[in-house]
Amino acid sequence: MRDVFHDATYFLCAKHLKDNFINYMRNKCGIQQASRTRLVGKLFGEGNGLLYANDVVAYKQQADAFAAECKMVSPQLEQHFTRHVEPAVRAYVFEPSQRHGWLQRRWTNNACESVNHMLKLSIDWRPRRLPELVECLHKVADTQISDMRRALYVHGNYTVTDTYQRFVIAHYAWQ
């Protein structure tokens, strides 16, 4: 990917980073629930977690303090944080969000996974020949466009978010 999209911004799903960190604490280190909850809050907590550091200096200070706290709980956890978690958070969450203000610090790829699941359902979870796959993809995209149009004239299962309310049209005007 980097060879083809060398100027792209790469970032990781905060939910998966968090889930992996919790899993490591529980299953590899045997850390109790109360300590896991406290550490997860300090790493991923909205507004005050490491992901939300204001600048590089604050990030470094918080990361060092967090590593020290991990070491007090478990030396194994401190090593894991220092070698794996912190470099990933820095390179694929903190730094991209510092470069691009529009990027959410706690971006998740759940929407991508949801669409992926929908596509797999459309092909019954089986490999397909290319023409058949293209036809399935076309049907899924066509359905999404229809759903979007219905949302624009307030019919169907979906609504337009506040940001795009100016595009909503009365049903009679649409017709």
Closest CA to 86 of 117, 61, 54, 115: 61
**Same-domain status, 91 and 132:** no
Residue 33: inside a domain, yes or no? yes
Pairwise pLDDT comparison (105 vs 172), residue with the higher score: 172
27/93 same-domain check: yes
Identify whether 106 is part of a domain: no
Q: Are residues 90 and 138 in the same domain?
A: no
Domain limits for position 163: 126-174
**Boundary of a domain, candidates 41, 64, 99:** 99
Residue 1 maps to a domain: no
Q: 95 and 131: one domain?
A: no
Res 162 pLDDT > 90: no
The predicted-structure confidence for 43-76, as pLDDT tens digits, reads as follows: 998 878 998 999 999 999 999 999 999 999 999 9
Closest CA to 97 of 44, 134, 66, 53: 53
What pLDDT score was predicted for residue 47? 79
pLDDT of residue 88: 96
Instruction: Please indicate, yes or no, whether residues 76 and 134 belong to a single structural domain of this protein.
Output: no
pLDDT for the residue numbered 108: 78
> 18 and 88 share a domain?
yes
* Rounded CA separation 163/105 (Å): 20
Q: Per-residue pLDDT tens for 12-55?
A: 988 899 999 999 999 999 999 999 999 999 999 887 899 899 99
